[in-house]
A = this chain, B = another copy of it.
Amino acid sequence: MNNNFGIAIHGGAGTILREKLSPKLEQQFRAALTLSISNGYKILQDGGSSLDAVQAAIIVMENSELFNAGKGAVFTHDETNEMDSSIMCGKTLACGCGTLLKHIKNPIIFARTVMEKSEHVLLASDGAEQFAKLHNLEIVEPKYFHTKRRWFQLQVVKENEKETETTRTILDHDGDNSKHGTVGAVALDKDGNLAAATSSGGMTNKRFNRIGDTPMIGAGTYADNATCAVSTTGHGEYFMRLVTAKDISDMMSYKNLDLIDASKEAISKLSAIDGSGGVIAIDKDGNIAMPMNTPGMYRASFSANDKELSVKIFVEE
């Protein structure tokens, strides 16, 4: 038994500024993050698995309207919600992912089911939903994902696109974190097993069935008991190019960097190619790193080492 168990979560990184976040909304975010991490931590404390802990933590965020995952997923250009998810077990390297999901209430449960009940790693679109039905996952109508806040965000982005007469087929709009929403969790359990999981609605106004880094093992999510568990959040395309989550694991494994230095180095590489975002990571000893190059990242951590639940939003906290 390992006494250094712990969990870290994120609810997205981006241009989160104190002056833009109302006290009421800030309080809501802190409460949701607290509930999410507490649910995950309790599972670990009771001797449960890191897989169950990250899943429980993510379900809280998927069921909240606040985060860009599940219920609060952003809208695509075609006014649909298309969700991605992934989960990985550090003990076995087993993993499961879903993409282009439109009717599955909790994409993270879908990812877990793929990991455990299929021989595949990634299932997409209609086929994925057929698989979900076979396994009795909760299916909801698209209107479940229709929230006023996200609908308004899409209208603003489209309006802005019209005004600027954007001719680019892909929108480059960053003002309201339209690119940066994701939720994620990483955990170490008492048995010494690591797990990582990520869930996302992708980018506001995304087109052409764009798939981001969330369902990419190695980019958005990675876990290996020999090193660490990682979940990323930010402009996904950059994490895909750098294969960031696996890169952190490899810098620990091959270069003997510790978790803190490997995670920092990953963010430096992200900055070097003009990418933005953050990562959360936990190693086999329960150390936690949460570096970012954005003004903020919704995040929380709770480990047996620190004995204190920490919830943060802004970079300078």
The answer, among B120, B208, B210, B240, for a CB contact under 8 Å with A208, is B120
Q: How far is the CA of A76 from the CA of B255 in the complex (A)?
A: 42
CB of A14 to closest CB in B, whole Å: 17
Binary flags per residue of A233-267, CB closer than 8 Å to B gives 1, else 0: 00011001111001100110111000000000000
Q: Which secondary structure dominates chain A's binding surface?
A: mixed
Given contacts A134-B169, A219-B217, A241-B94, contact A208 B123 (CB under 8 A): yes
CB of A53 to closest CB in B, whole Å: 21
In the bound complex, residues from chain B placing their C-beta under 8 Å from that of A117 are 169
Q: How many residues of A contact B (CB 8 A)?
A: 49
In the bound complex, residues from chain B placing their C-beta under 8 Å from that of A121 are 236-237, 240-241
Q: How far is the CA of A100 from the CA of B250 in the complex (A)?
A: 30
Q: How far is the CA of A207 from the CA of B218 in the complex (A)?
A: 24
A131 within 8 A of B: yes
A47 within 8 A of B: no
Closest residue of chain B to A257 (Cβ to Cβ) is B254
Q: How far is the CA of A250 from the CA of B251 in the complex (A)?
A: 8
A28 within 8 A of B: no
CB of A80 to closest CB in B, whole Å: 11
Q: Which residues of A contact B (CB under 8 A)?
A: 93-95, 99-100, 117-128, 130-131, 134, 168-170, 172, 207-212, 216-219, 222, 236-237, 240-243, 246-247, 250-251, 253-255, 273
A-B residue pairs in contact (CB < 8 Å), sample of 30: A93-B241, A93-B242, A93-B273, A99-B124, A100-B124, A117-B169, A118-B169, A118-B170, A119-B168, A119-B237, A120-B170, A123-B209, A123-B210, A124-B124, A124-B125, A124-B209, A124-B210, A125-B125, A125-B209, A131-B208, A134-B169, A216-B217, A217-B241, A217-B243, A218-B219, A222-B243, A243-B246, A246-B246, A247-B250, A251-B254
